[in-house]
Chains A and B, each alone.
Chain A
């Protein structure tokens, strides 16, 4: 109980630093939701594309094999890009969390010395500091989740445009406009479909079946918290061990 009390009191005492921490975590969480939701949306688009292809017979599809492969590759490349950005985001979180822990170790050295001198173990002090950061992480995460939830409509529109743009840029490198027009002309010749040739790859116009659901909450929290904990445990343990060594062996 006193351990929790210490962590909560420390949060209040270092509230300025932790408020900026909340802002940082808020931004991280928001970006993570955006990337994970965009990736899920891209996956959904790819599934819808495959469903639309079902409306053509096998023989017709053979003529468009090159286009279908290029489209599938473009969807995969967009997903890979989102995944890469998300990993990049985790690396940034790791580095910033480590930097903050390094700065805080220095800023809180007197407080750390107090704990060490009354007999608290390094693990005890590290656990308290990391718990404080985990509470801040949870706060920033919840704020970001609330904001993302109330902005779903806007987010859906924006992510759809982003996906469209990324998909188009990936596809452009593999299929020329001329080839695209030729293939789609062959595909749609004497075919009755519930979509036009413009909407084969990604429905650009008209109402979409459903608004994107925000995803990635659990993944953001678990991976973000794990990154934060690993980064801070390593830095705090190193710094506090060094401080303990200096306290015990100073001449």
Chain B
């Protein structure tokens, strides 16, 4: 029933707002990779159950979400453009050669940037990310976090990073969880 669905979505949105606002980066700790995958599935399924997939963007690696024959630009705009292109870091925005090449041979870091900005350009308010690829150096990870923080703050969105890296949790005590919170998509009346 649409009315009931809207109540569920509203309740779910309130949960998300309570947990992941103000806009910024949030870290959820998982003990190992398989626990992280289970957590990721539980979170995405909660969005689906609450009929809120339009608010969710995903960032995964190895990624299944880059269409290889489309250009990088087309992949960025695959879900439409609700934000200005100036949101992208200048070096990426001005690199027409890179933006117009097919997206089949992206590096791990490039793939993460594309998925991040694709979600933000599409106006997704919550981005769910599954840890950093092993191929990324510490410096690349820091740079990504810096760009991501600036972009999510600018768009009033939140990037929720599911990680097995304890140091990220320790470094961000105010926006991280040792025990990831459970998202409950059920309506309060049925919960």
Binding site for B on A (CB under 8 A): 2, 5-6, 9-10, 12-13, 110-111, 113-115, 117-120, 248-251
At the interface, is chain A mostly helix, strand, loop or mixed?
helix
B55-99 toward A: CB 8 Å interface, digit per residue (1/0)? 000100001111111110010011100000000000000000000
With A117-B58, A118-B118 as given contacts, are A12 and B45 in contact (CB-CB < 8 Å)?
no
- 26 A-B residue pairs with CB within 8 Å: A2-B74, A2-B77, A2-B78, A6-B67, A6-B74, A9-B70, A9-B71, A9-B74, A12-B69, A13-B68, A111-B67, A111-B68, A114-B64, A114-B67, A115-B67, A117-B58, A117-B64, A117-B65, A118-B58, A118-B65, A118-B78, A118-B118, A119-B79, A249-B45, A250-B41, A251-B38
Q: Which of B44, B48, B66, B71 contacts A114 (CB 8 A)?
A: B66
B53 is an interface residue with CB less than 8 A from chain A: yes
Contacts of B118 in A (CB 8 A): 118
Q: Which of B53, B66, B71, B74 contacts A119 (CB 8 A)?
A: B53
With A110-B64, A118-B78, A118-B118 as given contacts, are A9 and B41 in contact (CB-CB < 8 Å)?
no
In the A-B complex, the 9 residue pairs with the closest CB atoms? A13-B69, A9-B69, A117-B65, A113-B64, A114-B65, A114-B67, A248-B48, A118-B65, A114-B64
B54 is an interface residue with CB less than 8 A from chain A: yes
Complex alpha-carbon distance, A9 and B77, angstroms: 15
CB distance from A60 to the nearest CB of B (A): 73
